[in-house]
Amino acid sequence: MKSLDKVFKIIELLKSKNGTKLNEITQELALPKSTAHRILNELIKNKYTYKDTNNYYRLGYKFLEISSYMIDNFNLREVAKKSIDKLNELTKETIHLAVLLDSRLTYIDKRESQHPIKMSSQIGKSGPVYCTGVGKALVAFQPKKVIDDILTNTHLYKFTDNTITSKDLLLHEFSKIRANGYAVDMEEHENNIGCIAAPIWNNENKVIGSISITAVLINKEFEEILKYKDLLISECQKISKRLGYIKNE
User: Three-state DSSP class for 89?
Assistant: helix
**For 193-203, how does the pLDDT look when each residue is reduced to its tens digit (9 = 90+)?**
999 999 999 98
**For 107-124, how does the pLDDT look when each residue is reduced to its tens digit (9 = 90+)?**
999 998 877 666 767 788
CA–CA distance, 149 with 152 (Å, rounded to integer): 5
pLDDT of 84 reads 96
**Does the pLDDT at position 219 exceed 80?**
no
**For 151-171, how does the pLDDT look when each residue is reduced to its tens digit (9 = 90+)?**
998 999 999 999 999 999 999
CA–CA distance, 188 with 63 (Å, rounded to integer): 35
CA–CA distance, 136 with 156 (Å, rounded to integer): 13
Indicate the residue type of 64: L
pLDDT of 82 reads 95
pLDDT of 1 reads 55
Task: Name the residue among 127, 74, 122 with its Cα closest to residue 105.
Answer: 127
pLDDT of 110 reads 92
**For 141-151, how does the pLDDT look when each residue is reduced to its tens digit (9 = 90+)?**
999 999 999 99
- Cα 124 to its chain centre, rounded Å, is 10
pLDDT of 244 reads 85
> Higher-confidence residue: 77 or 212?
212
For β-strands 49-51 and 57-59, DSSP reports them as: antiparallel
CA–CA distance, 95 with 225 (Å, rounded to integer): 12
CB atoms within 10 A of CB 18: 7
**Does the pLDDT at position 65 exceed 80?**
no
